Amino acid sequence: MTTHASHPDIIKRLKRAEGHLKSIIAMLEEGRGCLDIAQQLQAVESAVANAKKTLVHDHIDHCLEHAVHEGGDLGRDAIREFKAITKYL
């Protein structure tokens, strides 16, 4: 498995989202108001979306760039993988 410079930041974002999810569950169990819960859900969505965007941009900046520079089968595989990853944007 390849670790990129952005992975620690992505992990931090996802752990923050995990904490928000746990608090949302507690809020629901406590019967808290819908507005408060919706705000926390938005925070989770935002954290996950930003983590995904960071991951995809990192992939483009490093993996794709490297593979295209190398050329040959590696370049073709990188283009194919790039096409596949764009469905997550």
**CATH number of the domain bearing residue 23:** 1.20.58.1000
Asked whether residue 2 is domain-assigned, the answer is no
Q: Is residue 3 part of a domain?
A: no
Q: Which domain holds residue 76?
A: 8-88
Q: What was the pLDDT predicted at 65?
A: 72
Q: What's the mean per-residue pLDDT of the chain?
A: 85
Average pLDDT (20-35) is 96
Question: Do 24 and 44 meet the contact criterion of CB atoms below 8 Å apart?
Answer: yes
- In this prediction, residues 30-44 reach a mean pLDDT of 95
Question: How many other CB atoms sit within 10 Å of the CB of residue 78?
Answer: 21
* pLDDT (average), residues 34-55: 92
Q: Given pLDDT bands bounded at 50, 70 and 90, which one contains residue 34?
A: very high
Amino acid at the residue 40: Q
Q: Is 11 exposed, middle or buried (0-12, 13-18, 19+ CB in 10 A)?
A: exposed
Tell me the pTM.
0.71
14 in any annotated domain: yes
Question: What are the structure tokens assigned to 26, written together?
Answer: 């507690």
Tens of pLDDT, residue by residue over 56-73, are 888 777 777 777 777 777
Nearest-angstrom CA–CA distance, 59 and 54: 9
Residue 80 lies in a domain: yes
